[in-house]
Amino acid sequence: MNVKILGSGCSNCAKLEKVVRQAIDDLGIVVEVEKVQDVAGIVSYGVMSTPALVIDEQVKLVGKVPNRVRMVEILKEALPK
């Protein structure tokens, strides 16, 4: 699983990264987390509002930061079956 956090470094972008990392720890999974901060990279996903979350090249969240429980659910849904 590959996780990307799209954002320019705003406070909500940092919050999203924190929640993602906490959820990864909760699940005990190994995940590569990458931050995409350049505008061209963000726009290439069709995202116009940040922060955004991309899992395995699919946009999962745009413009919001979910709580830790919801983030665990999002990551579980993205795990290979």
pLDDT digits (tens, 9 = 90+) for 14-62: 999 999 999 999 999 999 999 999 999 999 999 999 999 999 999 999 9
Tokens of 2: 């590959």
Q: What is the per-residue pLDDT for 57?
A: 97
- b/e map of 25-36 (b: 16 or more CB within 10 Å)? eeeeeebeeebb
Cβ proximity of 9 and 38 under 8 Å? no
Indicate the CATH number of 2-78 among 2.160.20.10, 3.10.20.600, 3.60.15.10, 3.40.30.10: 3.40.30.10
Rounded Cα distance, 10 and 69, in Å: 22
User: Is 17 assigned a catalytic role?
Assistant: no
Side-chain-side CA neighbours of residue 25 (13 Å): 7
Which one of 3, 5, 6, 13 is the catalytic residue? 13
Which one of 2, 8, 9, 10 is the catalytic residue? 10
Return the domain boundaries, the chain.
Answer: 2-78
Q: What is the per-residue pLDDT for 21?
A: 98
Q: What is the per-residue pLDDT for 28?
A: 97
Q: What is the per-residue pLDDT for 3?
A: 98
Q: What is the per-residue pLDDT for 81?
A: 77
User: Is 10 assigned a catalytic role?
Assistant: yes
Rounded to a whole number of angstroms, the distance between the first and last alpha carbons of the chain is 12
